[in-house]
Structure 1
């Protein structure tokens, strides 16, 4: 049995009790066992892989992000599942809403409880969301289709929703610290949680509110326009270019031609690289495709509109696939197999560890 990341199981249990605040040993042991099993599932069949090596397979993973009721489920069902361009290419991993609505033998609806009493249940809900995403990653990590589309991610949880409930004083500083103490250790043990790209479905808060009212999910009756505006602002801050503050994004259209020529014209001005001090280090320079979901389109009838969106996703997939293949072929070494090509600069390419590949090494690469 391979060891969990960070040392023996006993050390992990001691860490959870002393540093994270998990008082009961049995609780700490069960968490340790879960992480251990998750790591084991990520290891290669022929032997144990060192903790810092990448265990992600050759599939591409995109996380589909966006505000409440922006149309993520519609997008995944009608565009990803029902178009010639994507249906044989993708595996869809929907957000585990049903698990949030039915917890434990008492069938407790933690989603409904959060909306009804956010100050009481914000911390509990966000932690359970985190756990269900880990379970979902484990369950979907061995699919065979080349593209995995995951509805939301632990990064939107942290960058958008946890920030929002903290700023609303529904989640206090101590609870935020405990949440953060989980984030990096678990992320390091499950590198499959780090996507190869993001797809941001974008619409105004007013449009999201109208769609939310139409779908009439029982738990969402108390959601206000102000809350949707707060979530929208945080998505924009995270996934769209900005020249203000300590963060910005670089449009793919600003890339040197040698890198940019592989990006299809239809998405050239819609692809951005995440960058900034506010960004978690593991998603720095990860590309994001921004799609306009403001228009109300009947995808059951408008076949051409459905195909247009599908082609944009397919073109983004091809672009990211080329970046990943170039990374695997040119910069893998025996000490750090998870280094990836991230973003070009004047003298070569940045690598995830901060070093760069010199310009002369790029000559064999073709995009």
Structure 2
């Protein structure tokens, strides 16, 4: 028995000395069950140090505290990896978060979500499991799980990959269970529309996409936003080349290289966002504005020579024709004067745009106008809505009736002939924090344009189906004995076998 006393005494001594060890400047603070925001600074007066929570637990509660510490082990690991405790958070801020965290308690049921990961998810706007499911449906459905794992790590800040993988697997299985028995291959493709948001540099595309499309009741649940892949242009390959900066610095050297890479990233972006579940995909710019505006501009400035423009055109048409996802159902043209765009560009001060001149913006503005806006003289270029059949013109709401035009002309790529474009005036600077009604007015116009294009597409599909049925009814294949030709003898069956009779007659009847 006397041999056990020194050991027991040493244990008690260690417990008494624990606060001193935990506050040593050479050792990071350990906080197994306390707040993850606890301060880890050395304290001058050891007598005022309180014991950590796991030492203050009573005998009856010790098991409970140990279980709580084990449950938070994942968060303690993250705290250790980040180099110790963070800064202390004021009590008022902690109380401000408590309601949101309380309402998000269901997230704690997801494997890989502890208190720290819960706070990160809440800070990013995920208040419950439903929001994570919607994120998966919109951005990652039908794709590799790694895509959502990367999003959780890079955008939400979940440090450990195994936590991100556990969350992704849970959400995927939940969505798959909800969609069981549904033909998921038809969900995105049959009902989803794509609009490309076009406009000059600094016209306000980012503001439009983030403040109007993301923050209004009319569009929030309707649209998925696909911003321009600028980050990919600023960080290329293992050497992290900034091809956007290189183009602005030496446009005559890098114009073709830049435009070539822009096209590639747009194709990648279209593939990545193709499986979303929301009815409308808003993409910032398109391969057509690249060709109709920016490639024309650099060619006219002699930054792209005749050989390079010929090479660009030689692959542009066949690639676009083979990738129908690049062809939008409509365009939204954000319109402002070059002077207004130049002022906004000076305010935002993007480093790569330091050499962009007002004359360059004026050239881009003219090319947007000739492409997306009808000329006042009625010259060829677009087809006004007033020239459409009455049943389509009448379906346009009054507040966008004078803003919708159909693209047409010899200079237009064949794949976007008759594609509608909505023109929105962005000349005036609007504070959308204060002018809520202006923000909602823009959103309503986009929502009405969406309904118009959707009905038009459904009508075209129905007409095509009816047309196919009527053609099939009119075609009568020859009976046995061959085909009679007026003023001649019976056509031998060997001649009939040399061509596709149904296809030939279909072509004849459609002319």
Q: Please indicate the TM-score interval, normalised by the length of the shorter structure.
A: 0.7 to 0.9
Q: Where do 1:192-271 residues align within 5 Å?
A: 192-242=325-375, 247-271=380-404
Shift of residue 310 of structure 1?
0.2
Q: What displacement does 1:190 show? A: 1.0
Higher relative contact order (CA 8 A, sep 6+): 1
Q: Indicate whether 1:326 and 2:474 are aligned.
A: no
More helix by share: 2
User: Alpha-carbon deviation of 1:246?
Assistant: 6.4
Q: Is the 8 A contact 1:251 1:270 kept in 2?
A: no
Contact 1:61–1:148 (Cα < 8 Å) also in 2: yes
Deviation of 1:182 (Å): 1.4
Give the greater-gyration-radius structure (CA): 2
Q: CA deviation at 1:56?
A: 5.1
- Counterpart of 2:265 in structure 1 is 132
More strand by share: 1
Does the 8 A contact of 1:62 with 1:147 survive in 2?
yes
- Aligned-pair CA distance for 1:218: 0.3
1:253 and 1:269 in contact (8 A); partners too: no
Q: Secondary structure at the match of 2:405?
A: strand
Contact 1:202 1:292 (8 Å CA) reproduced: yes
Cα distance in 2 between the residues matched to 1:267 and 1:333: 30
Alpha-carbon separation, structure 2, partners of 1:143 and 1:258: 31
Alignment of 1:294-309 (within 5 A): 294-309=427-442
- Alignment partner for residue 82 of structure 1, among 174, 192, 215? 215
Aligned pair 1:170/2:303, yes or no? yes
1:315 to 448, 452, 458: 448
**Runs (5+) with no aligned partner, structure 2:** 1-182, 469-506
Equivalent pair of 2:198/2:205 in contact (CA under 8 Å): yes
User: Distance between the aligned counterparts of 1:253 and 1:334, measured in 2?
Assistant: 26
User: How far off is 1:241 after superposition?
Assistant: 0.5
Whole-Å Cα distance in 1 between the matches of residues 388 and 204 of structure 2?
31
Q: CA deviation at 1:126?
A: 0.2
Which residue number in structure 2 is paired with residue 67 of structure 1?
Answer: 200
Cα offset, 1:284, TM superposition? 0.5
2:282 counterpart of 1:149: yes
Residues 315-354 of structure 1: pairs in structure 2 closer than 5 A: 315-332=448-465
**Match in the other structure for 1:40:** none
Q: CA deviation at 1:332?
A: 3.9
SS of the residue 1:166 aligns to = helix
Tell me the distance in 1 between the aligned counterparts of 2:335 and 2:312: 27
Aligned length: 287
* Deviation of 1:330 (Å): 1.9
Give 1:210 shift. 0.4
Gaps of 5+ in 1: 1-45, 47-54, 336-353, 359-367
SS in 2 for 1:241: coil
Specify whether residues 104 and 165 from structure 1 end up closer, same or farther in structure 2 by C-alpha distance, changes over 3 A only. Answer: same
| CA positional deviation for 1:187 | 1.0
Instruction: Tell me the equivalent position of 1:93.
Output: 226
Q: Do the aligned residues in 2 keep the contact of 1:71 with 1:293 (CA within 8 Å)? A: yes
Q: Offset of 1:258 from its aligned partner?
A: 2.1
Partner of 1:347: none
